[in-house]
Structure 1
């Protein structure tokens, strides 16, 4: 299979969906979430065969940087599409859909090598919960950016533009914390399954991921405790969410980037 045409088509569909949702947010076109979901779903249909092709071509069971990125972004897109049927999270597609398309195109141009690892049901549970945690908290990060923009606009009495298109700030913040709650539960499952099923979660090639994942878990948990005990909200919630997501991003891709890109080691 020629992966590049599928990746390019997926990129176009993702960008089209993001543009439509962005134009909706700017009140340039009427809201049609069904169109955004359809374009996103079609992009995902083009995305999945490329992921399968990339994973099957990798010599190891544990994919490298670019393949891991496009695999995780497929999970993000799928989770976002499903969640949008129940919660008003589709605005996150403005950022996440183009990122998914970009990761896909980069993976076809720069395929990464995997490495061997023993694949057991426990490790599959760890991998699945890690991917879902990353996807949920990536959506939370996009939601946090929207909450931050809305908060700043209201603080400066700018009530036109995207503020008029977004739900009330209290609703946006409640949704942000729901996403963080779900993400923390999945991240907890990921960490616990890693402790149980991986031989040594603090081994050299896993130490950075473990430490950074635990640090991210601590940040998100502190945020939730602060919300419950002290009523944290607004820009404080935005900053803590983004810091936690930044640490999680480093945990998932930091060492892969250093080894595969900077040091050119597979």
Structure 2
């Protein structure tokens, strides 16, 4: 019962955080200068949601009466990691605009986990190496999810500026050069964690075919190659703008197929825990 209350509060606080961010965005879009007013309430609400969400995650994934690591728990954990990274970065960088989308999404994942995670218990993960691999993979996916949304905003910003419509949302965003720099900063960290996840997978996955993970590994390697080419193109040829957006979204699409698509097929369609 207590966990249910925590889950409800986490969902409410996430949506409150998204609403507060939207309010700040509307003010910025209206031409109002940045202000510290409302910032303490925003981060207090956001921080409370993160803490409560962590309690819910621990209960469902690692608690005595938990249900192991299933689809809804993985999605919820990913949303939590995203919320944590955004929270930390937003303390110093103007990246919190992404929270307008991602905080309500995190709230939805908490609600779904509370409602559906207990339907089909899955095997608990006890091996420390496998846990480390899974954590690295989820961090990589979380960071590259942020990068994909950042790329979407960058594409919108590029389009609006080239069509001489720099109003509304575009006025509230950081300068184009800063948006571009933040995109590659996020991709760089995501690529590091993705590399670490793939490397640790070589040691903890004894038989990929028997574990029905071959498709996941192949798709993840394709995503890694796409992001490697993108980062090389950035540092060697100065890729930015539309080309950077296309490669970012293409790499993220392969990652979604690898992490989410494969997990859904194995857990929900094939019934493998």
Same fold (TM over 0.5): yes
What are the ranges of 5 or more consecutive residues in structure 1 without an aligned counterpart? Answer: none
Q: Which residue of 1 aligns with 2:172?
A: 165
- The answer to whether 1:119 aligns with 2:132 is no
Query: What is the correspondence of 1:30-179 to structure 2 with a 5 Å cutoff?
Result: 31=35, 32-55=38-61, 56=63, 57-60=65-68, 63-111=69-117, 112-120=120-128, 122-179=129-186
Q: Compared with structure 1, are the counterparts of its residues 59 and 96 closer, same or farther at alpha carbon in structure 2 (3 Å cutoff)?
A: closer
CA shift for structure 1 position 157: 0.5
Query: What is the correspondence of 1:213-224 to structure 2 with a 5 Å cutoff?
Result: 213-224=220-231
Q: Which residue of 2 aligns with 1:19?
A: 19
CA shift for structure 1 position 182: 0.7
> For residues 131 and 99 of structure 2, what CA distance do their matches in structure 1 show?
27
> What CA deviation, in whole Å up to 9, does each residue of 1:8-42 have, x standing for no partner?
22122111211221232232686544433222111
> For residues 82 and 200 of structure 1, what CA distance do their matches in structure 2 show?
38
Preserved CA contact (<8 Å) 2:90 2:96: yes
Query: What is the correspondence of 1:187-266 to structure 2 with a 5 Å cutoff?
Result: 187-201=194-208, 203-263=210-270, 266=273
TM-score when normalising by structure 2: 0.88
> What CA deviation, in whole Å up to 9, does each residue of 1:158-180 have, x standing for no partner?
11112212111011001100100
Q: Which residue of 2 aligns with 1:180?
A: 187
CA shift for structure 1 position 2: 4.1
> What CA deviation, in whole Å up to 9, does each residue of 1:29-78 have, x standing for no partner?
86544433222111112211111111123454xx0100111122111111
Preserved CA contact (<8 Å) 2:147 2:186: yes
> For residues 18 and 182 of structure 1, what CA distance do their matches in structure 2 show?
25
> For residues 26 and 234 of structure 2, what CA distance do their matches in structure 1 show?
31
TM-score when normalising by structure 1: 0.90
SS at match of 2:166: coil
> For residues 203 and 136 of structure 1, what CA distance do their matches in structure 2 show?
29
CA shift for structure 1 position 150: 0.8
Q: Which residue of 1 aligns with 2:4?
A: 4
> For residues 84 and 77 of structure 1, what CA distance do their matches in structure 2 show?
10
Kindly report the root-mean-square deviation, in angstroms, between the aligned alpha carbons of the 2 structures.
2.1
CA shift for structure 1 position 108: 0.8
> For residues 187 and 18 of structure 2, what CA distance do their matches in structure 1 show?
23
What are the ranges of 5 or more consecutive residues in structure 2 without an aligned counterpart? Answer: none
Most deviating of 50-59 and 219-228: 50-59
CA shift for structure 1 position 229: 2.0
Number of residues of Structure 1 aligned to a counterpart in Structure 2: 263
